Amino acid sequence: MHKGDYIDSALVERLRSVLIAMRFPVAGSYSGLHSSLLKGSAMEFAELRDYYPGDDLRRLDWKAYGRSDKFFLKEYESETNARIYFLIDTSGSMNFQGADGVTRLHFCKQITATLSALFLFQADAVGVPQVKENYMVTPLHRGDSGLQFILQELDEVSATGKTMLSEQIHKLTEQIPRRSMVVVLSDFFTSTDELKSAFEHLNHCRHEVSLLQVLSNQEINLPDMVHTSFKDLETDKVIKTSPEKIRAEYKKKLNAHQQELKKIAAQNRAGYFQLIMEEGVEKGINSFMQFHQE
């Protein structure tokens, strides 16, 4: 059983009637919702997933075992429906707490779990990639039972240290065998040059990409205090200053960074969404779903 409280069942029930369509054709047979690049159907290699007791040993990937010393199973699927990957930033800044005490990481897990439930309901395949033993594991799950696996995987996601987001995006891009939807959740407080290269890689491989920048009002406006301490959650460095002294310059640099993110998204056919933690999960999900109705 998973430990985290990630899903509002009432919210999922309200949104189930709204289907989320991919904006570009998927690399598979058309099966109702998403347009396709191919006709007919066939069974082909899809992904690797963790081995569970009782799985068919004939589908073990021995090359992956040799690289990681862990058992992974080859998964095959009929070339139908969409495949969606939710990549969550795991740097220390994801532990930032919003005004309501919820961390950015937990908020991202709530967004991921809720959208996963909706995608699974419309018969798509969903995965939450993670780096294990320096190897990007990209299991895909389907159907009602798939949600429980996703919730368990979200429990395993933790945040610490400096950002490795761009490197993770490159690793994921190399692992995905064919066109998919990739949703990246982060504060994106990292080098835009590195992000540009990573999203160009995704776009070159013709994946449909969405950037979900998750921020707190406290980060956008800075606290209204005379003096305070600002701690870098990735390096633990602390700076003591007055928010009033730095607010104007801070907002200028933050705005420039966000404009660069939007530019990177536009240049790579990606969607850009700014989600404010204090505004709640539903508002963030509604903006994402509206984009995929257009």
Q: What is the pLDDT of residues 153-182, one digit of tens each?
A: 999 999 999 989 999 999 999 988 778 999
User: In the numeric block, which tokens belong to residue 111?
Assistant: 């967004």
pLDDT exceeds 70 at position 1: no
Per the domain annotation, does 60 fall within a domain? Answer: no
Per the domain annotation, does 264 fall within a domain? Answer: yes
Per the domain annotation, does 113 fall within a domain? Answer: yes
Residue 274 structural domain? 9-30+81-291
Per the domain annotation, does 42 fall within a domain? Answer: no
Write out the H or E segment, with its range, that includes residue 148.
Answer: helix 143-156
Per the domain annotation, does 144 fall within a domain? Answer: yes
- 116, 188, 264, 283 from 274: Cα distances, Å: 19, 11, 14, 11
Per the domain annotation, does 65 fall within a domain? Answer: no
1 vs 69, higher pLDDT: 69
Average pLDDT over residues 75-102: 84
pLDDT tens by residue, 107-134: 999 999 999 999 999 889 999 998 776 7
pLDDT exceeds 60 at position 79: no
pLDDT tens by residue, 216-266: 999 998 877 666 777 777 788 888 877 778 888 889 999 999 999 999 999
Per the domain annotation, does 263 fall within a domain? Answer: yes
pTM: 0.80
Q: What is the pLDDT of residue 130?
A: 87
pLDDT tens by residue, 10-57: 999 998 877 777 766 555 443 445 544 443 444 556 667 677 666 678
Task: Quote the number of domains for the chain.
Answer: 1
Per the domain annotation, does 35 fall within a domain? Answer: no
Task: Provide the sign of the torsion angle of the four alpha carbons 14, 292, 167, 230, taken in this order.
Answer: negative
Q: What angle do CA 193, 180, 60 make, to 5 degrees?
A: 105
Q: What is the pLDDT of residue 36?
A: 46
272 vs 175, higher pLDDT: 272
* 155 neighbors 3 (Cβ within 8 angstroms): yes
Which one-letter amino acid corresponds to residue 252?
K
**Which CATH number fits the domain that encloses residue 98?**
3.40.50.410
